[in-house]
Structures are given as C-alpha cells and as structure tokens.
A and B are shown apart, each in its own frame.
Chain A
C-alpha cells in the first residue's frame, strides 16, 4: 500500500514537470534513397535547411516563433554500413535574447544501412549532457524503397518521435517570450499550449524536409 502511494506520488511529481508526446508520420518522396540519406545525415546543415525556422501567420504577417540557430556534429564511427554522430542542436524562440533559455540538446544519431533497400536512423537525447527544454527525445526513422504504402519508384519515410518536454523549462521560455510580446501575447501563447511547443516544431521541420526531396 505504501509502495503504491509512493509510486503514485512519484508519477504525479514526474507528470507535473514533464509531458510526453508522440508523433507518428509517414511520407512518400520522389527522391531516391541516397538523396534522403544525404539530407538526413548532413547534421551540420540542419540549421540552414528548409524548415529550420518555424513561422506562423498572424494578422497577415509571418512571425518566426522558433528557429534552429546552431547544428554541429562530431562523427564517432563511420563505415559503409553504419555511422554514429553526436549532434548538437540549439533553437532560439522568438523574442528571447538570453541564451540560457534557448532549447538545446545533444543527440546521438546512429544510421544503419546494412539492408540493401532500406536504412534506419535513430537519434536519442544524451541526458547526461547539457540540455534545456526537453527531458528526453527519441527519433526513429525507417527509410525504404519498395515501401508498400508508396508508389513504385518513390521512397517511403516512416517517422516516429517521442518527445518529453520539460514543463518547467518551457514555462520559463513562455514567460520570457510573452513578456516582450505585449498585446500580442494572447495570439502567440497558443504555441506554448501543452505539448505544442516541440511537437509543432519537429512536425514542421520534417514536413519541410520531405517537401524539399
């Protein structure tokens, strides 16, 4: 009984400052699998690629809500069949100058291309290294030709994300953004609702990438 109470309390405490959201998407692109591989493994170019900036249209004006400002990679291993890279990503939300409040995280990204017609990419957040905004992040991609859901000649991209946002840290970002926003704060506060912050960003990012293929 006591254990149950402790577990309940622990669950409650965990749920108070974090949330988890999952994204499951599938896209078919006309590009070949090699081109998709190139795009996904150009880690240092993530911040300059289409989709790195997430904008919304407010009163007919495009407003940049969050933008990836840094993407750096350190190769760990690289063979023909697989590669592993550490990837450092920094995002800047609108109206925040203070770098301490920039969402940032180090990912360990492993690509396995042992099969002829498919490869996987798995990126996991390195919890023991500096991170802000996210408590955990897992990205699982399966890229394959001859995808039963896609027409012949196209490439299928199955994407599964699990995002654990840190509510306390996102709340700090929200306060820092909405303060200078003044009368605009009710308009942009919806972006911070529940799990929308990272879910919208990642969904948009990969959507733009697939469109560029």
Chain B
C-alpha cells in the first residue's frame, strides 16, 4: 500500500482540531469525575445530617408528649391545691371600731 504524502498531510491537518477536542473532552471528564466525587461526599454528609436530624426530631416529639403529660399533671395539682379552701372566722366591724379598753 502506498501512502500519498499529500493525502496523509491533508488527513493529519484535518485531524488536528479533533485531537484538541479529544483533549478538552478528557479534561472535562476528569473535572466531572472530581465533581461527582465531591457530590458523593456531600451526599454522604447530608445523609448523616439527616440521620441526626431525624433522631433529634424524634427526641423533640417525645419531649412534647412528656410536656403534654406534665401540663395535664400540673393542672391536676393546681386544681387540687387551690380547691382546698377553708376560711377562718374574722372580726366583725363592731369589734374593730370599738374603742380599745
């Protein structure tokens, strides 16, 4: 097979821009890989944060339930405490205005 130098030159000349594009694409792929790795890390971190937040919200929900129970108890204590009312006898006006002996 015989290469035509002119044809070969033309072919190489035409391939040069394609080589540049391949290089750019390779760099772009490398950059995308880096970005996806970062996103993966962020995703892992988000999952951990979500797990912590879920745990905390469960604890808050428990605390709200406990607080509700406590307020019910508090009202019961309040009602029973303030229900016990006895009034002692007090002086009448006649004895108050009477001159001291």
A-to-B contact residues, CB < 8 Å: 58-61, 63-64, 69-70, 72-74, 86, 88, 90, 92, 94-95, 97-99, 102, 104, 106, 129-130, 180-184
Does B81 count as interface, using CB distance less than 8 angstroms?
yes
Report, nearest first, the 6 A-B pairs whose CB atoms are least far apart.
A99-B88, A88-B93, A72-B93, A90-B90, A99-B90, A97-B86
Q: Is B71 located at the chain interface by the 8 A CB criterion?
A: yes
Q: Measured between C-beta atoms, what is the minimum distance from A68 to chain B in Å?
A: 11
Q: Are A60 and B92 in contact (CB under 8 A)?
A: no
Complex contact A104–B90 (CB within 8 A): yes
A88, A92, A97, A181: which has the most chain B beta carbons within 10 Å?
A: A88
What is the interface of chain B, defined by CB distance below 8 A to chain A?
71, 74-75, 77-79, 81-82, 84-94, 96-97
Least distance between A62 CB and chain B CB atoms (Å): 9
- Contact flag A182-B81 (CB < 8 Å), given A59-B75, A106-B97: yes
Are B78's CB and A184's CB within 8 A? yes
Instruction: Decide: A69 near B87, CB < 8 A? Known: A61-B75, A74-B93, A74-B97.
Output: yes
9 A-B pairs (CB sep. < 8 Å): A59-B74, A69-B87, A72-B93, A86-B93, A95-B85, A104-B90, A180-B81, A182-B81, A184-B81
